[in-house]
Structure formats: structure tokens, C-alpha cells
Amino acid sequence: MEGYEDEVKQAIQEPNPGIFEDTQRPNRNSYYLRLPRSRKYIKVVVNFSDESEGYVVTAFKTDSVKRGEKQIWPTSTDS
Amino acid sequence: MADFHRLVKTSELKTDKLTNAAAGNLRSISYMSYDEDFDALVLLAFEPESDLIVHYLDGDVALLYEDDSMQIVGLQVENFQLSFVPMHADLNKTWTLSDALGKEYHNLGEMMVVVERFRPKLAQEIINAAKDIPKEFAALFAA
């Protein structure tokens, strides 16, 4: 994601529409950020070794949230 | 979630490049790469001319298209080793290669060197296994 470093950071810090748990790997979350004036998101995939530490596996542009991913933040109780 | 926050419909994507290449009117490439950390396999039929966008279909299979032209140029399969390969018997056999070559491979890097020889067959089986992708892919990667 050369040239999109700021957006990748922003996706992790201020995800919108949110954070989603991977369909098959509970230690993997996806952070989505809607890009302004665009029909795209930045998706940042993060693996967690424990609850507090993780690393970015990959990041790319997509035009949807992946089917089956479960939204974990924000949830209806967060609003 | 009903709409998966989808911003672009599949019907908006263009297949002219694939169609032209399948008809022999446009040169294509056959590029394959596997990201071990992400566990994703990427097949590209063309060198992308702008940013690649991932367009999820059902499950772990996604089309890759050029941001500027919206032309489909490739395919991405996520959770490739974890779930996609085991679900498809023929693909599993080719990917493992141990049956065909009588040798166990200790890492994917070593295996990918050998898998180069099997790439057309592997690509064909991936395309056969993936649903809802343009049929032109099969012609391009089988060549």
C-alpha cells in the first residue's frame, strides 16, 4: 500500500465502518476505512498474538466488507 | 449484515480485457503468487495499469480489478491453504505435489519453485473450484 501509509494508520486508529473478525481465524481482525470521495475502503488485516499485541499482515483496497466477517466494533451497544 | 457495505456491484466491473485476451486479440500474462502470512493466492492475467481493487464474491474468492478502468485483471483466494485447498480434492493433490513428485516439501518457497511447472494445471483447478468468476479466466490460464 505504498502511498497510503496515512490511511492504513487511520484505518487502525479510527476504523469506519469498523473492525471485523475474520471468518475463520479468531486471532485475525480486519480494519476498514472508507476513503473519502471514493467507492473504496482501505482494509488492514491484523493478526493478534494476544489481546494487546498484533501486527499488520497486509493492507489493500476493496469495495466491500468480506461476506461472513463479524463486526466487533462498533457494536450496537457502543453507540 | 445484508449489504456487506458493498460500494460497487459486480455488474459494474468490465471484462473486455479478459474477453479480448481469450480471443487472442490482447496479450496476457500468467502471474501467480502466494502470500504465506496472509494465506492468499493471487492470479493475474494482466499487469495492472492502476491500483488493484479487491471485489469479494462469495466466501474467500475475490476478483481483482483496475481502479481506473474497472477491468477485471485477476483473482484472489483467501484462506487458501486453511480452507480452499482442502475443500477441493483435485486442487489439494496438485498443491501438495507429493503424490506426483514423490517428495515432501518443507516450505512453501521450495514448493513454489516446483509448482511453477504445474502452474497451468494449478491455475485451471483454482478457476474450476472458484465459483462465479468470468469464464475467460479458464482459457487464459490453461494456455
Per-residue pLDDT reduced to its tens digit, A21-71: 998 999 999 999 999 999 999 999 999 988 789 999 999 999 999 999 999
- Residue range B40-78, pLDDT digits in tens: 999 999 999 999 999 999 889 999 999 999 999 999 999
Q: Enter the DSSP assignment of B124.
A: H
The answer to whether residue B129 scores a pLDDT higher than 80 is: no
Contact A58 B52 (CB under 8 A): no
ipTM above 0.95, yes or no: no
What is the distance between the alpha carbons of residues B25 and B94, in angstroms, rounded to a whole number? 31
Helix (H, G, I), strand (E, B) or coil at A76: coil
- Residue range B18-40, pLDDT digits in tens: 989 888 888 888 788 889 999 99
Cβ pair B94, B122 in contact under 8 A: yes
Question: CA of B101 to nearest chain A CA: how many angstroms apart?
Answer: 31
